[in-house]
Amino acid sequence: MLNFIEHGTATAEPDLLIVHGLFGSGRNWGAIAKRLSATRRILCVDQRNHGQSPWFDSHSYEDMAADLAEVIKAQGKPMDVLGHSMGGKAAMVLALTQPDLVNRLIVADIAPVAYGHDQNQNIEAMRAVDLSKVSKRSDAMAQLAENLDDTTLQTFFTQSLDVKEQRWRLNLDVLDREMPKILNFPDVGGMYGGPTLFLSGATSDYVTHEYRPTIRDKFPKARFAKITDAGHWLHAEKPREFIASVQAWLDLDQRA
């Protein structure tokens, strides 16, 4: 089963499962999970081929959704699910294929469509790091800087570096090979009729108005909200606003 980090204790509110995006881990969501855990129990998973979770030869959304289903079933009851980017797509496939496991769904800055945002250059930047010369995180950041100008990404990627073992906690070979599947969205049937929030960054181009008909076909109860001055990494760029938006939506009476 996937590795996960638990925050808080069970309350009368449904537990919340947080699903990270590409190159991330459950640990990246610790600060947000701690804030949200004041009112409910939170589980932050490491997806397959990421973090402390097992490595597999495949990385399809059907696989990822099945992994999440296994975690939820082990809790013995449905959960609310929040997924960002790749994690949002995995959460959507879970909701579409096994809706009884998902009470409510929050999709952070992604839509159920194919994208052209190539990530292979980031994989190559990580592969180019000579891990034998890394004794501290700043060593890896200095090497990443040779191929990657974005200091935010340098910091983010090194969070998935096991400095002691001198290895990435990312299955870069499989992620590279399976990138077409990650950028795509599978042709899964079904519809998720539960409450769904599509929360996006106002400056991001990942969830445009042209995608809304496709979204509503699959998620008829979809609501849309944007966080001002935030891009694709909305939870990292505007954490307070992100937490407030998620908490406010979770607190709504959505029985109607």
CA distance 139 to 133: 7
User: Which amino acid makes up residue 250?
Assistant: L
Active-site hit among 85, 200, 204, 245: 85
Query: Phi/psi at 232 (nearest 5 deg)?
Result: -65, -35
Among candidate residues 7, 50, 84, 232, the one labeled active-site is 232
Instruction: Spot the catalytic one: 173, 205, 217, 251.
Output: 173
User: Is 63 known to be catalytic?
Assistant: no
Query: Residue 212: what residue type?
Result: R
* β 42-45/4-7 pair status: antiparallel
232 has catalytic annotation: yes
Does the annotation mark 176 as catalytic?
A: no
Rounded Cα–Cα distance for residues 103 and 78 (Å): 6
- Provide the annotated active-site residues: 85, 173, 232
